[in-house]
Structures are given as structure tokens and as C-alpha cells.
Amino acid sequence: LAQGLGQATPQRPGRQRAHRTRGRGLVSPAMAVAPAAVPAAALRARRVLHLVGSRQDEFYHDLSVLYASACDACPLLDRERYEFHFAHVHTDGTWSFPDGLEEKALAAAPRMSLAAAVGHIERLGPDVMVPHMFCVEGMTRYRSLFDLLDVPFLGNHEYTVWPATDKATTKQLLDACGVRVPRGELLERGLKERPTSVKVPFVVKPCNEDN
């Protein structure tokens, strides 16, 4: 389109004209295309499922709820773009899906079996899972469950976490790869309870706990 005149101007062969005129704000026919349809999934808020609790013991269970509660209380969370849901694993192995992590909400949520929980998760259709379980099982088997359900999650997969949860295994793998590690011995109750190759001073640490 000719500027300000609305008349066609000569066009070079092999080139398409797709520009605006300054005076009339018109576009060439090459640009007059219908807008692409936006998928319905892109219009709804993304569903985030927080996985909390533990069936190992009350310490790991309460620690998980504490960390998840702090995360949920963050004022920077965008609650317009994201829906936040909670999956609660109890110490007896049952599941529940409370509306929140307050003590009253946790107690009011009906409990269900693992099989029923899997069905609930399938119907919920979370876009991502955020794990807050710090027991070994929570960092491995429960993550594998969501992997089988094709629900992406934050953090490492169980095949990475398993070796890292055992300090003796971690040292063996690193040593085999040529990484220097401090000397040490694995002591087990009833099998080997006193070190024979290291002498004081030394540090004693649980082999399969976080710290």
C-alpha cells in the first residue's frame, strides 16, 4: 500500500510485502491471518501438588509438614497463575488431600488407601509435584510413584537419591571414579562395632541419614 494514498506500489518479484502504512494503519493481505487458537490448558491455572508427610515416624512427618507450611505461607506465591493442592502421607501409610496444612485441615481430611490416592491424583491432574518428604522412602519410592504417573516433580529421581542417602556407598562410588575421599570405616551393630583402621580424633556420623 502506498503511504497515505491507498494505491498499490510496484513489488519486486519474489518478495512479499507485509508492512503497515503510517497514515492508515492498514496491513497487507499477507498479514491478515486469523489468530491462533489458545489451548484450553494454557488458560487455566497450573496445578501444583505439594507432597508432605512420612510413614517412617513422627519426626520426619512433622518436619515435612513444617517445611511445606513455610513454603505455602510465602507471600510471593502467584495464586492467580497457580493452584496449590496438598497430598498428605500419614504415619500409618494412608493418604489424604487436605485443603490446607493447618492442624484442623489436616485432621478433617478423609483418609484413603494408596490405591484410592492414585485415582484421586489421576483425577486431579497436577502439572507438577513439589516433594517435601525428607525420609529415605519419601525421597525415593514416593518420587518413583509420581514418575510412573507421568507427573513431573522438582528434584532428583530415586536412582540418583538412593546412592546419595548412604554415605558409605557414596564414598565407594566417588573413590572408584578417582575422587579423593576421607578414610573411614563402616560400623554396624552386632557385626563390627569398633574401628580398626582409623584412630581418634575422628567424626562419627549416621550412615543413612541426611546429616
Q: By C-alpha distance, which of 84, 166, 168 is closest to 132?
A: 84
**pLDDT (tens place) for every residue of the chain, 211 residues total:** 333 434 444 444 444 444 444 444 444 444 445 556 656 556 789 999 999 999 999 999 999 999 999 999 999 999 999 999 999 999 999 999 999 999 999 999 999 999 999 999 999 999 999 999 999 999 999 999 999 999 999 999 888 888 888 888 889 999 999 999 988 888 888 898 888 888 888 888 888 776 5
Burial (CB < 10 A; 0-12, 13-18, 19+), residue 188, is exposed
Cα–Cα distance measured from residue 117 to residue 34, given in angstroms and rounded to the nearest whole number: 43
Rounded distance between C-alpha atoms, residue 195 and residue 186, angstroms: 8
| Longest distance between any two alpha carbons in the chain, whole Å | 97
- Nearest alpha-carbon partner for 97 in 79, 75, 76, 123: 123
68 near 101, Cβ under 8 Å?
A: yes
pLDDT score, position 34: 53
CA distance linking residue 9 with residue 4, whole number of Å: 12
State the DSSP H helix or E strand holding residue 48, giving kind and residue range, or none if neither.
strand 46-53
30 DSSP assignment: G
Q: Please give the distance of CA 63 from its chain centroid, rounded to a whole number.
A: 18
Torsion of CA 113, 116, 121, 122, to 10 degrees: 150
Q: How far apart are CA 147 and CA 157, in angstroms?
A: 8
The pLDDT value recorded for residue 165 is: 84
* pTM of the full structure: 0.71
Q: So what's the pLDDT on residue 26?
A: 43
